[in-house]
Chains A and B, each alone.
Chain A
């Protein structure tokens, strides 16, 4: 492989592949689908992925630090469900919101503590805490699957807010993306996330507070999940806890990872999340316009993701000598 085509292929990585696929689908949809390239539709695309994107932002901060947070969807749904349930049962907003926030913080801290200080694998800690959070809230705190937002509550108003004709979700997604970008790129602890993710032992030897930082990351992801839950409640005017059993969790991981954030940590950034979210959003929108049933949408979506992973694997094969042990 010589010359320009060769260089092009060699420089392909997962992020670029996904970007090209996204652009290709976008162009194809713009050319082939009537009504795709209207401003209303484009806004709808962004809105459809904003909640997913926010969740992916929190997840990516954890993944860059060589962890994973499988409890996000449970925290998102159950914290907001509990919050709404508290409001429903007459607790004042001034007490209910701090209570819900405290619960969210507690989950994040416990996750972080078990990973950082008890040195348990993040995958199991968060799998367990997610299962526990769902089970505890569902069996002890709320009486049914769905809890609706009380009318005249600020969450309803949030859902109806549309500055310049764009829903508030999009602004919040953009703001959080910017905040995550600034945190990861320009703050000391944000940079440390990369070092700790790339080589935790070296980071610790260099004097970074690796363990407190780990706890912080899980707190961040729990708080992001709560924010995403509030937005979901705002747009649907209720929260359905059955979302915990859906494939949403896997979608979050995929959005984060498909954009090129390596599961082994230390790689990627907000840009990768945006690319991943764009791919998912455009695909879903195009398929909805094409009137493809939900079942087939899942199939098509996942197959495209698999192809992207395979292409990345072919272009950047892992080496037996340098692969990390226990890196799954």
Chain B
């Protein structure tokens, strides 16, 4: 290995480039920019204003923050549902007046004053909600009008009854405590805001009504068509917003013990700015309570900070305007470009130097030498089938295969001209196996391990394993379950080829070549799936050895066959049986003579082998070229290879014409015939094997004759 190659290997195999793409996939990266802004704003004003972080000062400013975040939380929920509520300022002011009036004019206890505020908010919110939710009026215009109406009513009330409030001698310890007191250093409004935020967050992310709100915001029409009661949910979001503003109004009433003409003035703009600066999108569907809270802190710290720093009239609006513009710009551009960045950086190739291999060229005289025998195979389902990755036969000789449409198709014996859809599973059914009871088990790409009973009922057996500690993206989910086999005790050994790509993107995994393939075992007794081995380059075919003491599995992009020991001295470990083959191995199955069949999905080429030693080149290729100009593994020639327990190659079969079976992903021996499938093929091949036992079937070999 040259020094340059050694450097490349270190650079690309040790630096976790793939983490960037995975981090970008996380939804919390949405919050990164608002959070950064939050830190900068708090740090900036905190250092510019003397005594900003002193407890008394913080208590004072957080009291206002608590009220404000209550309003913002309500507005956030409305915005998530695809609406907007400009009337929050009016609700806030009217609720404040309601509690002030109840307490000072009517001398009611504090609790009733709170209820008066809440009732005001609920009624106002219900009016908004009724108009927008049930009458389907436009949110912006309607809340604009109700905002003006509410403001007008409030102005009239303040002018008419303001003096009475001033002259009142009502007082209450509870009222004063809510306005001025603290619990463990926290003011009531902060506690209220936190409690509401937590409850709302949980409700939005983990409850049916919350999901419905997000669904409506995401796509109102789809939500309606999915049976969600759109109108009622929209109504409720406004009622909720009204209640939130009412709580805030009650809190400011207790804090100021009065209601002046300026109460709630301009609050709607502040709240809207906060919600958007935090990263909630207008039009709904995307956002969270946390974003709203971050926005609330940013906006309030900024506006209050500017006042305390002594800047004159107008500075606040100037800064707010800039803030809103910058926040919206960043937010929109980020959302628009994130997937582009993600597409560019997600493929992060690693270095691999494959060993020298023997030639498979016809006439080369090596054990791998390909011939043209598969071109003579009879075609089954020619032109009807799309993508039979694996094929299998049952005890009645019927032939089953998966298709790319997510179906299991059954061809009827003896001539395999008639067919039916045996079951619809969805996903991409890949590996197939029959268990002792005659159930058909399948590894379904992008879904998991499934069981199809003879009566065609489909059951999911497993879709996840244990998550590994170092994973960024949840790797518990099975992304590309590929092949399986069943041990005599019923345990299902199966592979999950990659953690990085979904099943249909398997070619991208070949470009990246990162070792993330797993060997898993599903235990029907417990229903649990465990990871046996991790870190292989595209684990693919699996088969039980004839003596059931070990499992053979292959590693496609490394061209190797491994044996995993289930018992004996090497139990729990894997050893490489065949290395540096000239082809990329796929499914492995038992042969009648005590050996094994292995499919080759494609052949190694010097050019792709070379590119594996140049990860930088593959990375540039993935970033700069359109996908159809990429250098991929050659899948135009494949074949079938027979090997024995010792790892010796015994026989090969190929199709040099490239017409019938260019790419072979599976083969199954049954009563002297070999049935051949290909994931990109349009047929199943049926090939008469010379000298094979004409009575041997896999079902008998696995489960005993006739059982």
Contacts and interface: CB of A to CB of B under 8 A. Distances in A.
Interface of A: 114, 118-121, 123-125, 127-140, 145, 245, 247, 250, 253-254, 257, 263, 295-296, 298-299, 302-303, 305-306, 309-310, 313-314, 317-318, 320-321, 323, 325-328
A120 B145 contact: no
B230 interface: yes
B137 A299 contact: no
Contact of B314 (A129, A137, A306, A327): A137
A131 B82 contact: no
19 contacts: A119-B336, A120-B325, A120-B329, A124-B276, A124-B325, A124-B328, A128-B322, A131-B269, A139-B312, A139-B318, A254-B144, A295-B155, A295-B159, A306-B145, A306-B149, A314-B135, A326-B82, A328-B84, A328-B282
B359 interface: no
Interface in B179-194: none
Contact of A325 (B131, B221, B321, B336): B221
Contact of A318 (B136, B272, B336): B136
Interface of B: 82-84, 131, 135-142, 144-149, 151-153, 155-156, 159, 219-221, 224, 230, 265-266, 269, 272-273, 276, 282-284, 311-325, 328-329, 332-333, 336
Given A313-B135, A320-B224, A139 B311 contact: yes
Contact of B321 (A129, A145, A298): A129
Given A120-B328, A120-B332, A309-B141, 17 more contacts: A118-B333, A119-B336, A121-B328, A131-B317, A131-B321, A247-B151, A263-B140, A263-B141, A295-B152, A298-B155, A299-B153, A309-B142, A310-B131, A313-B137, A317-B136, A323-B220, A328-B138
Contacts of B316: 135
Contacts of A247: 148, 151
A250 B148 contact: yes
Nearest to B149: A302
B148 A119 contact: no
A303 B151 CA distance: 12
Given A123-B282, A298-B148, A309-B137, A321 B221 contact: yes
A320 B224 CA distance: 7
A135 B320 contact: yes
B145 A125 contact: no
A132 B336 contact: no
Given A120-B332, A121-B282, A128-B328, A302 B220 contact: no
A245 B145 contact: no
Contacts of B221: 320-321, 323, 325
Contacts of A298: 148, 151-152, 155
A135 B153 contact: no
B476 to A, nearest CB: 34
A133 B318 CA distance: 7
Contacts of B153: 299
A328 B328 contact: no
Nearest to B276: A124
A132 B142 contact: no
Contacts of B336: 119
A120 B283 CA distance: 12
Nearest to A119: B332
Given A134-B314, A313-B135, A320 B321 contact: no
Nearest to A326: B283
Contacts of B138: 263, 309, 327-328
A24 B467 CA distance: 72
5 tightest A-B CB contacts, nearest first = A135-B318, A326-B283, A138-B314, A132-B321, A135-B317
A120 B276 CA distance: 12
Contact of A302 (B145, B156, B323, B325): B145
Nearest to A110: B325
A300 to B, nearest CB: 8
A263 B321 CA distance: 23
